[in-house]
């Protein structure tokens, strides 16, 4: 049980597997006014940077679930490194349908809303693990500029224009689900560059070390085309943010 190997290669050196930075994660934690002992559930926790740094900086406790064996191992090592292994737990497994017995003060899914069929389904799933008055966090892309054509949306690696909303519409959609948007921290282009451009050096080093691997041709093609594709499409059209929601 694992995610496609390509992600475990291209994002092996990432601590944050999203267009978000250390500073933005800390800003989000501060914005939420987290209290010591707050329980945080993180579905699709990646390499665990949110839980580990919030445990260190704000005293939260919690659990992360992720399908990547590599990222989950990295999360456990990060918890040890930051001295928070007694506060956070990382489970290698399927997050779809995961409901925790211990209800959380914060239930999050940052950049993995496909686990429950999209934003609405993921909000519904997280709500089942939330204590009354708790906060749901959704990390999701949005169109900074609406793509003029479907080809441009595909250039952004979206399936179609309809996959994402522009920011005002995304915010309005949370209202239609019965939630107040009580905070948000948005990525910026530098944050997007950190996520995307960091893959390039990782790919280059991996190629140098694994020239005969069955994925070498694929990675070579990506490394050749990604900088230009990213600058032409994703960097111009896509935004990303984390939205904090409380049930009305
Ligand atoms: N929230 C993390 C990771 C985001 S990337 C961060 O911000 O760094 C998306 C993550 O979802 C990856 O770590 C991937 O392994 C995980 N994932 C994908 N499908 C999953 C599933 N069905 N169940 C659990 N995790 C999944």
- Name the residue with the closest Cα to ligand 1, atom 15: 68
The DSSP secondary structure of 160-204, one letter per residue, reads: -GGGS-BHHHHHHHHHHTTEEEEEEEE--HHHHHHHHHHHHHHHH
CB 73 within 8 A of CB 36: no
pLDDT, tens digit, 9 for 90 and up, residues 165-186: 999 999 999 999 999 999 999 9
CA of 213 to the centre of ligand 1 (A): 24
61 Cβ contact list (under 8 Å, min separation 6): 37, 38, 39, 40, 55, 87, 88
pLDDT, tens digit, 9 for 90 and up, residues 185-237: 999 999 999 999 999 999 999 999 999 999 999 999 999 999 999 999 999 99
Beta bridge partners of 247: 179
- Name the residue with the closest Cα to ligand 1, atom 16: 44
**Distance (Å, rounded) from C-alpha 204 to C-alpha 169?**
38
Site to substitute for ligand 1 among 2, 3, 88, 110, most atoms within 8 A of C-beta? 3
Q: What percent of the chain has pLDDT over 70?
A: 100
Could you say which DSSP state residue 117 is in?
Answer: T
Average pLDDT, the chain: 98
CB 139 within 8 A of CB 74: no
Say if 100 falls within a structural domain. yes
Could you say which DSSP state residue 44 is in?
Answer: T
pLDDT bracket for residue 13 (50, 70, 90) = very high
* Number of C-beta neighbours around residue 128 at 10 A: 12
What per-residue confidence (pLDDT) applies to 104? 98
Domain count, the chain: 1
Say if 94 falls within a structural domain. yes
Say if 80 falls within a structural domain. yes
Place of tokens 């003060």: 105
Atom of ligand 1 nearest to the CA of 109: 1
Q: What is the CATH number of the domain that holds 53?
A: 3.40.50.150
Identify the burial level of 36 via C-beta atoms within 10 angstroms of its C-beta, where 0-12 means exposed, 13-18 middle and 19 or more buried. Answer: exposed
Say if 10 falls within a structural domain. yes
pLDDT, tens digit, 9 for 90 and up, residues 89-111: 999 999 999 999 999 999 999 99
Site to substitute for ligand 1 among 11, 17, 52, 116, most atoms within 8 A of C-beta? 17
Say if 11 falls within a structural domain. yes
Say if 177 falls within a structural domain. yes
| pTM reported for the whole predicted model | 0.97
- Of 200, 182, 179, 195, whose CA–CA distance to 235 is shortest? 195
Q: What angle do CA 35, 37, 42 make, to 5 degrees?
A: 90
Ligand 1 contacts (CB < 6 A) are: 3, 16-18, 44-46, 49, 65-68, 71, 94-96, 110-112, 115
CB 38 within 8 A of CB 105: yes
Residue span of the structural domain in which 136 resides: 5-147+163-188+240-244
Say if 201 falls within a structural domain. no
CB 134 within 8 A of CB 245: no
CA of 111 to the centre of ligand 1 (A): 7
Stretch 124-149: mean pLDDT:
98
Say if 107 falls within a structural domain. yes
CA of 99 to the centre of ligand 1 (A): 16
Stretch 68-73: mean pLDDT:
97
CA of 188 to the centre of ligand 1 (A): 21
Q: At what angle do helices 167-176 and 119-127 cross, to 10 degrees?
A: 40
Which helix (DSSP H) or strand (DSSP E) does residue 207 occupy? helix 189-209
């Amino acid at each position: 049980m694992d995610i496609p190997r390509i992600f475990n290669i291209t994002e092996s050196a990432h601590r944050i597997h999203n267009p978000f930075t250390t500073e933005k994660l800390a800003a989000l934690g501060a914005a939420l006014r987290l209290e010591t002992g707050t329980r945080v559930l993180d579905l699709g926790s990646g390499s665990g940077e949110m839980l580990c740094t919030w445990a260190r900086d704000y005293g939260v406790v919690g659990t992360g679930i992720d399908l990547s064996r590599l990222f989950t191992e990295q999360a456990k090592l990060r918890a040890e490194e930051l001295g928070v292994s007694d506060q956070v737990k990382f489970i290698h497994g399927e997050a779809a349908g995961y409901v925790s017995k211990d209800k959380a003060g914060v239930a999050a899914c940052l950049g993995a809303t496909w686990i429950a069929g999209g934003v609405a389904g993921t909000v519904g799933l997280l709500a089942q693990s939330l204590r009354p008055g708790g906060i749901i966090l959704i990390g999701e892309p949005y169109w900074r500029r609406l793509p003029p054509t479907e080809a441009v949306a595909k250039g952004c690696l979206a399936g179609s224009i309809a996959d994402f909303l522009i920011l005002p519409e995304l915010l309005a959609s949370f209202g239609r689900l019965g939630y107040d948007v009580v905070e948000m921290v948005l990525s910026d282009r530098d944050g997007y560059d950190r996520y995307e451009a960091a893959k390039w050096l990782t790919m280059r080093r991996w190629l140098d070390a694994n020239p005969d691997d069955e994925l070498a041709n694929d990675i070579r093609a990506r490394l050749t085309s990604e900088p230009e594709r990213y600058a032409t499409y994703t960097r111009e059209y896509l935004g990303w943010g984390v939205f904090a929601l409380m049930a009305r």
